A = this chain, B = another copy of it.
Amino acid sequence: MSSEEALETLSSLPYRDLGFARVDVHRELRQGAPEAVLAEGKTPEQVAGIVGALLEGGAGSVLVTRADEAVREAVRNVAGDAEEDVRARAVWFARGVPEPRGLVVMVSAGTSDGPVLHEARIRAELLGTTVLVHEDAGVAGLQRLLPVLPDVERADCVVVVAGMDGALASVVGGLAAAPVIGVPTSVGYGSAAAGQTALNAMLSSCAAGLAVVGIDDGLGAGTIAARIARGRE
């Protein structure tokens, strides 16, 4: 594609203006990514309006994250095929999910990392990849990590979800041959600093092949993990 064609494509992409939101009804044409909507900071009505416009615009699938019960109810009322996961605070419509390709292995350090891990899992599955989950495998008890290693060995991408010291990312990052995506979580108190410590620890890890998404950003981790695992299309 030439530079001129890039511009042309860019300017021809349609969107729908709801007044408070410009809904990008063909983002997946551009990126191969179904739509995601962050509920936080929006009213239930706004979220439902955006979701409705996306579905009407023919979106493949739509995932709403950080959705409390009021938002989830509003979204469930948009169409009959809504699915939800309370622990992950997520509600979604799974339409036109591609055939799964590639394997993502997701490992969490503790039980409290569950909401973020499952947000990542749902996102990656909607993007069309297979996800294997290991929860509560933190490094303070290395024997809990051992059964995870064979799955890490065969993964196309590994996602490590950890708060507090974030050390699990360094240990797994040192063992995996596939790309590893670290997700720091806001689990912990005091010097855990709402995820900042886990984030900084992952960023300064000397494990090779490790990159990081934002604190508690399960969505972002699921997105890039699925892209990596599916490979170039």
Contacts and interface: CB of A to CB of B under 8 A. Distances in A.
Interface of A: 1-7, 10-11, 13, 15, 19-22, 24, 27, 30-33, 36, 38, 40-42, 46, 50, 66, 102, 110-112, 114, 135-144, 146-147, 149-150, 153-154, 156, 164-167, 170-171, 173-181, 186-193, 195-217, 220-221, 223-224, 227-228, 231-233
Contact of A20 (B135, B142, B149, B231): B135
Contact of A204 (B150, B165, B179, B211): B165
A175 B142 contact: yes
B204 A156 contact: no
B136 A187 contact: no
29 contacts: A3-B149, A5-B150, A13-B143, A20-B114, A30-B177, A31-B176, A33-B208, A110-B206, A138-B206, A139-B174, A140-B173, A140-B174, A140-B207, A140-B208, A156-B231, A164-B201, A164-B204, A165-B165, A167-B170, A167-B201, A189-B216, A190-B214, A190-B216, A191-B204, A199-B203, A201-B201, A228-B228, A231-B231, A231-B232
A110 to B, nearest CB: 8
Given A6-B153, A21-B111, A206 B140 contact: yes
A20 B111 contact: yes
Contacts of A32: 177
A140 B139 CA distance: 12
Contact of A141 (B24, B217, B227): B24
